[in-house]
Chain A
Amino acid sequence: MLVLTAMLLLTLAPPPGMVKVSGGSYAPLYAREDDRIAVGPFLLDRYAVTNEQFREFVRAHPEWRRSKVKRVFADVRYLGHWTGDLDFDPALAKSPVTHVSWFAARAYARSLGKRLPTQAEWELAGSASEKRADGTLEPGFSRRILDWYARPTRPALPPVGSTYRNYYGVYDMHGLVWEWVDDFQTTMVGGESRGGGDGDLFCGAAAADARDRSDYARFMRYAFRSSLKARYTLANLGFRCALDLPSGKKP
């Protein structure tokens, strides 16, 4: 039903709270230059999901309450900044929900007929500055992101919308929380071989080297994602949802 409603709305305008991100092409960090991936246009939440919104979800889906969730889907710190199954400091209502696992984020998205953005989609949207779709060449853009990475996580997160609005009308892609992507587990960083180390860890020969080592901020995000497990929850890791456009089928 929700999916249907969402589909119906799409034929008119982006659903409330979502904006259209026009597609582009994206070169994964670990790929050959000719391996650019075409990213079709898609819809993305304007803001990260808030504590308040996530509470509505766990109210309706008790299996995702702190006291009920299966440990295989979320570690012991799941919603650890809340004071109870449905309670948190009211000052945090509009702050991004964190301490959520990949499974929980996906379940939230699915409950609204949405999904998590792919890594390619997130990176495409995240590379926009205030003024341009591709802000990576703008002086200071990468620097700003790196400065944020260098700061410790604030004990109480500010509300969503408190950093910057980018070219697409999406807020806080950098500077508030890190965000889950649907395919985080496809991120493989060199030296991934925890055990073997005999050079043939992967079947695919293309999985070898970083394409552009100058984009250090992006490298940090890849390293961060590759360190995650699906049940992990962290104080600075939240998410936002995405949705296909009706004609936005990926090639």
Chain B
Amino acid sequence: MRALLLAALLFVGCSTPPPQAPASRSPGPLPELSIYHLPGAWTDQDGKELTLPELRGKVRLLAMVYTSCPQACPRIIADMKSIDEDLRKRHPAGVELVLVTFDPETDTPERLRQLADEQKLDPRWRLIRGDSQQVQELAAVLGVKYRKVSATDFAHSNLITVLDADGVVVHQQEGLGVERSRSIDAVEKALTSCCSEEEGP
């Protein structure tokens, strides 16, 4: 797991010096407000299982989407990409990005893999699914509203969440194609307070 993350980092940021192992930080207990307190196992686009506490240690952008979403979700992903591109001008390693599906019934790991390929998402993106209870609880902590409106469609709020390295929500951007500077500021602040050793000189 760690090795993979490391490999992913090296892959995307060739010019950066080898980062220190994340394990060198002594993490201590999760902060009270960390969303990583949520229990349960999730599966990613490669069929790998993970629990939320494993996401600790990186600043992340997270959004909830579903693969058969016709309009809003591709735009959420586009907004995340644009935040990430902007950040990588100053932080070559960028951030890690997480997409969580509203629709675990339809969105198998294969479907998630397919979305990742279509959208040309690099390995810093984790596309994950849980059971409907987990999805409901994650949406609840994030304040994401959603409702199944037909066999294939969900109504949902469009929310990109910035999580600090401990999984605490530090910023949320609501709407599509909105001004992204505040999200970028929030990520940069979170990066300086936690992950400075992973940035280039």
Contact = CB atoms under 8 A, between A and B. Distances in A.
Contacts of B174: 193-196
B87 to A, nearest CB: 20
Interface string A100-112: 0011000000000
Pick the most buried of B139, B140, B141: most chain A CB atoms within 10 A of its CB: B140
Contacts of A201: 72, 157-158, 175-176
Given A72-B32, A203-B69, A230-B141, A196 B158 contact: yes
A226 B145 contact: yes
Contacts of A206: 149-150, 155
B35 interface: yes
Contacts of B73: 203
B118 to A, nearest CB: 17
Nearest to B32: A71
Contact of B140 (A187, A196, A230): A230
A202 B70 CA distance: 11
B140 A185 contact: yes
A234 to B, nearest CB: 16
A70 B72 contact: no
Pick the most buried of A185, A206, A207: most chain B CB atoms within 10 A of its CB: A185
B116 to A, nearest CB: 20
A185 B145 contact: yes
A142 to B, nearest CB: 25
Contacts of A70: 32-33, 37
Interface in A128-151: none
Contacts of B156: 202-203
A195 B173 contact: yes
A185 B175 contact: no
Contacts of A188: 145, 147, 155, 157
A52 B141 CA distance: 28
Contact of A72 (B34, B136, B153): B34
A233 to B, nearest CB: 14
Interface in A32-86: 70-73
Nearest to B102: A203
B143 interface: yes
Interface in B141-197: 141, 143-147, 149-150, 153-158, 173-178
B26 interface: no
Interface string B29-45: 00011110100000000
Contacts of A202: 72, 155-157
Given A193-B174, A226-B145, A185 B154 contact: no
B71 interface: yes
A202 B75 CA distance: 12
Listed from nearest, the 8 A-B pairs whose CB atoms lie closest are: A196-B175, A195-B174, A230-B140, A204-B149, A204-B155, A71-B32, A195-B175, A207-B155
